Structure 1
Amino acid sequence: MYIFGYLRASTSDQNAKRAQRALQEFVQQKGFRIAGWYIENESGASLQRPELLRLLDDAAIGDAIIIEQIDRLSRLDEKSWFALKEMLHEKELKVISLDLPTSHIAFSPQITDEFTGSMIKAINSMMMDMLAAIARKDYQDRRRRQAEGIKKAKEEGKYRGRQADLELHEKIYQLRVVNKLSISDTAKLTNVSGRTVIRVANKWANERAVKCDT
């Protein structure tokens, strides 16, 4: 059984690799190794995620996927969630989630009693469905609150759209451009993705260069 790590964050401003060390250490404690990582910044509300689909294509029958929480795998609606489960079922892929203790049984394949194995699978499937439903509701609630907040701000004439985190951007600029830290080190220190480091550092460097010329 190969174990593949899947890490996801919703936007490029979030660090999808945040939980990588925790997953690595957890798997090592169980006496296993992670064969590969699939990391992306995509919404969990969509099934069209390149790295997740690549993982599903690369994995062989009986392999396992490890995630930090079920919401990293799914904030999908019911139809899409069951479509994803069908993809997992086709290859008999196990899903191991740190927040779902019943899924940790995948590390103990020595269970030979058919009834016990079937019961554990049923319980694990039920718990995954429940956590996926909770993750979806949380997603919908946040979207609703966001829309209500924007509507109120517009009515009061206070809405300016999404504002950049200037303090964070300044820190990225100082670490990457001024102090010459690597992209990966800057990303770790600021808890953002490498793509965000590149974008912000280039933008601020160009802006500073223009100011110096004028």
Structure 2
Amino acid sequence: MHIRAYLRASTKEQDASRAKDDLRRFADERGLKIVSWYVENESGASLARPELFRLLSDCHPGDILLVEQVDRLSRLNAEDWSKLKAEIAAKRVRVVALDLPTSYQLANSGDDFTGRMLDAINGMMLDMLAAIARKDYEDRRRRQAQGIADAKTRGTYKGRPEDTERNAAIMTMLTNGQSWASIIAATGCSRSTLSRLLQRVRTEAEG
């Protein structure tokens, strides 16, 4: 059995490794050793998480996927959560979360009957917390959209401040003919941002 720790934050401005000490302390207190860490900055509402799936690819039956909170693993909608659960089940990986006390016993469960009972209980609790995490995500998105709509109505909405330094660097890359794939890999920007900045490069060239 190997303990594999997964750390996630939603944006590059957040520190995905913030909970590392808590996970290490949890393992140490139970005489467990974390063999590998998987850290990424991706939305929990998306299944497009390379490090999470690299973790699952590395796993062997009986390994433990250790997370700080269930929402670090999932803010997914019901369909995507089912897909992720199926992947976890296929690998026969056990999920242990610091905010899910019933999962702690899975880390040291040796009896087959007890392990199966704990798996069933833990599965129900995981589903509940994943649903709560998704609702929290949707509520925050709705409040954010309402706030933006109100600000636009009042004429006070300014949008997200532009990262002028990053955008200038991207425009230089575009001017030098660098591929979109390499720019995205280097900067983490979206294709829509690249398209917008490419149009700006062309406009400046014409001017």
Normalising TM by the smaller chain, what interval?
0.7 to 0.9
- Residue 149 of structure 1: which of 134, 147, 150 is its match? 147
**Structure 2 residues not aligned, in runs of 5+:** 163-186, 189-207
Q: Is the 8 A contact 2:106 2:118 kept in 1?
A: no
Segments of 4+ moved more than 2 angstroms:
109-112, 116-119
Measure, in 2, the Cα distance between the counterparts of 1:150 and 1:71: 25
Give the Å deviation of 1:89.
0.5
Give the AA of the match of 2:9. Answer: A
Give the Å deviation of 1:62.
1.3
Q: 1:30 aligned to 2:30?
A: yes
Q: What secondary structure, in the 3-state scheme, does the structure 2 residue paired with 1:62 have?
A: coil
Query: Which residue in the other structure is 2:2 paired with?
Result: 2
Measure, in 2, the Cα distance between the counterparts of 1:19 and 1:117: 27
Q: Is the 8 A contact 2:106 2:115 kept in 1?
A: no
Query: Which residue in the other structure is 1:88 paired with?
Result: 88
TM-score with structure 1 setting the length: 0.74
Give the AA of the match of 1:151. Answer: A
Measure, in 2, the Cα distance between the counterparts of 1:91 and 1:50: 16
Query: Which residue in the other structure is 1:178 paired with?
Result: none
Give the Å deviation of 1:119.
2.4
Give the Å deviation of 1:20.
0.4
Query: Which residue in the other structure is 1:183 paired with?
Result: none
TM-score with structure 2 setting the length: 0.76
Give the AA of the match of 1:152. Answer: D
Equivalence map 1:99-118=2 (5 Å) = 99-112=99-112, 114=113, 116-118=114-116
Query: Which residue in the other structure is 2:59 paired with?
Result: 59
Q: What secondary structure, in the 3-state scheme, does the structure 2 residue paired with 1:17 have?
A: coil
Q: 1:162 aligned to 2:183?
A: no
Give the Å deviation of 1:106.
1.9
Deviation string for 1:55-97 (max 9, x for gaps)?
1111111111100000000000001001000000011100000
Which stretch of the first structure deviates more once superposed, 70-79 or 57-66?
A: 57-66
Measure, in 2, the Cα distance between the counterparts of 1:70 and 1:117: 20
Q: What secondary structure, in the 3-state scheme, does the structure 1 residue paired with 2:66 have?
A: strand
Give the AA of the match of 2:57. Answer: D
Measure, in 1, the Cα distance between the counterparts of 2:103 and 2:109: 12
Measure, in 2, the Cα distance between the counterparts of 1:117 and 1:57: 23
Give the Å deviation of 1:162.
2.0
Measure, in 2, the Cα distance between the counterparts of 1:111 and 1:59: 21
Measure, in 2, the Cα distance between the counterparts of 1:143 and 1:79: 19
Give the AA of the match of 1:121. Answer: D
Measure, in 1, the Cα distance between the counterparts of 2:109 and 2:143: 44
Q: What secondary structure, in the 3-state scheme, does the structure 1 residue paired with 2:19 have?
A: helix
Give the AA of the match of 2:49. Answer: R
Give the AA of the match of 1:72. Answer: R
**Structure 1 residues not aligned, in runs of 5+:** 165-194, 197-214
Q: What secondary structure, in the 3-state scheme, does the structure 2 residue paired with 1:16 have?
A: coil
Measure, in 1, the Cα distance between the counterparts of 2:83 and 2:7: 20
- Residue 123 of structure 2: which of 122, 125, 144 is its match? 125
Q: Is the 8 A contact 2:109 2:115 kept in 1?
A: no
Q: Which has the higher contact order (CA 8 A, sep 6+)?
A: 1
Q: Is the 8 A contact 2:106 2:119 kept in 1?
A: no
